[in-house]
Structure 1
Amino acid sequence: MKQRGQVVQELFDFIAERLVDFVSREGEGFKTRNGMQQTVREMGLTFSFPVKQQSVKSGAIIQWSKGFDIADGVGADVVALLQSAINRQRGPKIEVAVLVNDTVGTLAGGRYWNEDVMVGMILGTGTNACYVEHDLPSHVQSGSGEMIINMEWGGFWSSHLPRTFADEQLDKESLNPGQAGYEKMIGGMYLGEIVRRVLLRMEKEASLFGGPVPSKLKEPFSLITPEIAKMHADESKNLRVVAKVLRDVFGVQKTDLAARRIVHDVCDIVIMRSARLAAAGIVGIFKKIGGEAFDSTDSRTLTNLHWDSQEPQQLDTKRIVVAVDGGLYEHCTQYRVYMRAAVNELLSEAGAKRLQIVLSKDGSGIGASILAARHSQHRGANKITCPMERPSEAAERPSVHLCGGNSSSCSQHTQSELPPRSTQFTQSEPTPRSTQFTQSEPQSNWLQATQHSVSYVYGLEYID
């Protein structure tokens, strides 16, 4: 999985080439009403790596994760890299209108249809979350009184997390040892590798498969998460799917039923742990924005502590919806069951009823598109009516406005309305150890699972 030595320009040239090819083949339904091709197509770029964002459409790459290591990309403006690569293609004119984290895109896409969506979450190759914060410190200005906090929670670490020998080995041999500890216990990129390491130790110490250690079993990342999902979903009496995966992936030709049951159990434990850790993070956010405790005699009474006060505040009791995007959550049914069970365990009955977790398929891309439309510099020049809705319906729906604190990119605000410090709020370069956090707010009422380094704060406005 290590990808050292790649040149960042090669990566973005590849992305641009695929993008231009896709746009060049667009159908008739995406032309303007007079049949002419659009002069400029604007896009939203959803980027799932930490960036130091300077404006709505610019941000410097802080570091790579999820197995990527492209040294010459660190510190570069990701939008400028992609825009330059697009321009080199000499194809249709495409402009990047907004840069958003994938969690923010997921939240924006979900909240476009449902105003109860307060959290955007990624459960795929990696994991991250963002949420809508109402309780802003006095020095942070927002026209709506709300901001989206991109948590970059994959970097969370605590000695209380249930780390095993497999986690320690994986972390030590990774491209970023000592970092992204939470993500390495949850993300789909790592679950198959954790299972492989457990099975390898069992084979070495107890001859699990009854013979010499298969050579493929020794290869890092030879077992991918979709394969363990197949084995975990195997409900056949003889666990035939487990036998087939072991044969196809590791070359283990014969296994007894007892060994296959052990493999199935290992897959179950690793998937369950990931789901429960992810659920703990969700509950941490819920307790931050939705209230810490319910009155046992009246489930409608909800209290929370303001960040700089010990006085409880009464909050509303409407539901809080978490929009989740990512293949791990989408394709693994039992994963969703384990998550919901853990949420129910960690919250009161009334709290669990208020917290809903929903799949937002391709939510990050859809949300980025919505935000790009909202920040279009050519709005009105090329009007295309969405075939799924009447023009009147589109006009009535509230639109999402992402304000990055740059007056040139926030056409819906006067200078006085812009949040002047939104791009500097608790911004810091990543530390060598993810156990160190940078946060300007006191954490007296934060659940441990929500400690994080805030990489950027987005202002969220709703324009009627």
Structure 2
Amino acid sequence: LHILFNNQLEISALWKMRNYNGMEVLETHKKTPELPEKARSIIASLSLSTDDYKAIGDLMASSFEAGLKASGGPKPAVKMLCSYVTKLPAGSETGDYLALDLGGTNYRVLLVRLRGSDQEPEILEDVYAVPQELMLGDGAALFTFIAGTLRDFLQANQLSAGPDGERLKLGFTFSFPVEQHGLSSGSLIMWTKGFAAKGVVGHDVCKLLQEAIDKAALPIVCVALVNDTVGTLASCALEDPRCQIAAIVGTGSNAAYVERRSSMERYSDSLAGVSDGGPDGPVVVNTEWGNFGADGCLDRFQTDFDREIDKKSLNPGFQVFEKLISGMYLGEIVRLAIKSLVDDGIIFGGRMPESLVQPMTFLTKYLSEIERDPPKHYYSTDQLLTVDLGLKLVHPIEAVIVRSICEAVSTRSAFLVATGIASLLKRIKPSGHVTVGIDGSLFKFHPHFPERMTRKVQELCPDYEFTLKLSEDGSGKGAAAIAALV
């Protein structure tokens, strides 16, 4: 196992290391018998066994297969959506391409200048805010506003049509639930994130955008509707053509990978017109793996804290896997574990710190800060509890307990993501080395997340060679790279 830091984080995991002695239970847990019994019980409940991860991997494989084959009947928990992306960048692409990244109250417009092999793309971008009245008003007015900012962007960067009148190609990352009908076609299922613009649900968002662009007489053509995880795969492939899998592990979580078209029975008709590559040609699948477990298959692996989070969430019973692994929830799992110990009078004198009374107040970034210290050192834990969270005095054993809970929660998350990656590796059965592009704050900022992921994938997939590689800005650079292939 080696780790390289050179502008990008890269972890190579070549399974020549069959004697690697990774441990399921953290050293801290094994050598602290002084921990109260309930604390040890909570930590144990958050620490799954090797057999558990193997069982979860088998369940994921079955869910992937069910999603690919689903037609009528009950909808599968893991949707396995067709992206209609049938080829990935090779790194040799050149030219100017636009990307529009709309996923919240702020959105980005980017110019990505691809300069061929061994050269980093040049990226220019501007960020725009969507006025509240447009988020809730008429959908046509929303897209007219976006077209207006596209005009401003073209003017600011002196962009125009090509010498023969060819329009600038645009990749559109639209981070809302969409039913995709083709590479440049998809209908909005429902608005989220505070949007409720009228006349958009059920309509083709690419068509609405293109109509606004044409009305403004801009030399732009929207050629691709891109999911951000699919974009992460394209962004990574732009630098490393061996990339066949990508995942996002941040506030939410998802994965995409390269599948054989013949395996996508549900999309056989819509893919029939794609000529390049034949029936066994590649197509990128957007797994939507965050909803894995919505059918109840993960129930036996959940703790009481997981069940409480799910029950009080905006979507109980859904996105079960995401609630076990993503940055939105890890801090709250830790807070609930701490609260359980406080309620039993085991830590903090039986009084919950005022700063932690409300849900979601133990931030996921605290896990990274606490675990940045060397093993069995608690400087950061003590500082966070006293300075950030306002405790006047922290007993050494309380610091050990809090750090141990954080380690258990983040390790479980990393191992579960790794289990998903391992399931996808087994599915594609690569003959050579595979690069896995990873984006998201947990992989990027947590000091041990990449190493833990690597270790678990090695354990579950001893026959495959792989690299986990930080791959950023799939919604920008990746979307533009896909546009370059059209």
TM-score (norm 1): 0.63
State whether residues 9 and 81 of structure 1, in contact with CA within 8 Å, keep that contact through their aligned partners in structure 2: no
Q: 1:220 to 1:91 in 2, by over 3 A?
A: farther
Q: 1:32 to 1:9 in 2, by over 3 A?
A: closer
Residue of structure 2 in register with 1:342 after alignment: 456
Aligned residues: 339
Deviations 1:134-178 (A, max 9, x none): 261496334221111111111101236621111101111111000
Residue of structure 2 in register with 1:155 after alignment: 291
Residue of structure 2 in register with 1:357 after alignment: 468
Deviation at 1:46, TM superposition (A): 2.2
Mapped partners of 2:239, 2:468: distance in 1: 15
Q: 1:16 to 1:178 in 2, by over 3 A?
A: farther
Mapped partners of 1:153, 1:138: distance in 2: 16
Alignment of 1:44-193 (within 5 A): 44-62=171-189, 75=202, 77-79=204-206, 96-134=222-260, 136-137=262-263, 140=268, 141=272, 142=274, 143-144=276-277, 145-157=281-293, 158-159=297-298, 162-193=301-332
Residue of structure 1 in register with 2:443 after alignment: 329
State whether residues 49 and 101 of structure 1, in contact with CA within 8 Å, keep that contact through their aligned partners in structure 2: no
Mapped partners of 2:264, 2:308: distance in 1: 44
Cα RMSD of the aligned pairs, angstroms, is 3.9
Deviation at 1:108, TM superposition (A): 1.4
Residue of structure 2 in register with 1:275 after alignment: 414
Q: 1:217 to 1:81 in 2, by over 3 A?
A: farther
Q: 1:81 to 1:182 in 2, by over 3 A?
A: farther
Deviation at 1:120, TM superposition (A): 1.7
Residue of structure 2 in register with 1:367 after alignment: 478
State whether residues 326 and 362 of structure 1, in contact with CA within 8 Å, keep that contact through their aligned partners in structure 2: no
Letter in 2 for 1:185: L
Deviation at 1:47, TM superposition (A): 3.5
Mapped partners of 1:198, 1:340: distance in 2: 27
Alignment of 1:237-248 (within 5 A): 239-248=378-387
Deviations 1:276-316 (A, max 9, x none): 000110111111111xxxxxxxxxxxxxxxxxxxxxxxxx6
Deviation at 1:185, TM superposition (A): 0.6
State whether residues 106 and 360 of structure 1, in contact with CA within 8 Å, keep that contact through their aligned partners in structure 2: yes
Specify the SS of the correspondent of 1:131.
Answer: strand
State whether residues 20 and 92 of structure 1, in contact with CA within 8 Å, keep that contact through their aligned partners in structure 2: no
Residue of structure 2 in register with 1:194 after alignment: 333
Q: 1:255 to 1:288 in 2, by over 3 A?
A: same
Letter in 2 for 1:124: G
Q: 1:254 to 1:101 in 2, by over 3 A?
A: same
Mapped partners of 2:234, 2:225: distance in 1: 13
Specify the SS of the correspondent of 2:234.
Answer: helix
Mapped partners of 1:97, 1:26: distance in 2: 18
Runs (4 or more) in structure 1 with deviation over 3 Å come to 10-34, 38-43, 47-50, 61-65, 67-88, 90-97, 235-238, 247-250
Q: 1:70 to 1:270 in 2, by over 3 A?
A: farther
Between the two proteins, what is the percent identity of the paired residues? 33
Deviation at 1:253, TM superposition (A): 2.6
- Give the gaps of 5 or more residues in structure 1: 291-315, 376-464
* Range with greater deviation from structure 2 (200-209 or 256-265): 200-209
Deviations 1:35-55 (A, max 9, x none): x9x997653222444420123
Mapped partners of 1:195, 1:247: distance in 2: 17
Letter in 2 for 1:118: Q
Deviation at 1:115, TM superposition (A): 2.3
Deviation at 1:213, TM superposition (A): 1.8
Match of 1:320 among 408, 424, 434: 434
State whether residues 253 and 290 of structure 2, in contact with CA within 8 Å, keep that contact through their aligned partners in structure 1: yes
Specify the SS of the correspondent of 1:109.
Answer: helix
Letter in 2 for 1:346: L
Residue of structure 2 in register with 1:452 after alignment: none
Mapped partners of 1:23, 1:153: distance in 2: 37
Deviations 1:317-344 (A, max 9, x none): 2112211111211111300111011111
Q: 1:187 to 1:358 in 2, by over 3 A?
A: same
Q: 1:18 to 1:227 in 2, by over 3 A?
A: farther
Alignment of 1:420-431 (within 5 A): none
Q: 1:238 to 1:133 in 2, by over 3 A?
A: closer
Deviation at 1:61, TM superposition (A): 3.3
Letter in 1 for 2:361: S
Specify the SS of the correspondent of 1:210.
Answer: helix
Deviations 1:396-428 (A, max 9, x none): xxxxxxxxxxxxxxxxxxxxxxxxxxxxxxxxx
Q: 1:26 to 1:331 in 2, by over 3 A?
A: farther
- Give the gaps of 5 or more residues in structure 2: 1-104, 106-131
Specify the SS of the correspondent of 1:262.
Answer: helix
* Range with greater deviation from structure 2 (159-168 or 119-128): 159-168
Specify the SS of the correspondent of 1:333.
Answer: coil
Deviation at 1:367, TM superposition (A): 1.0
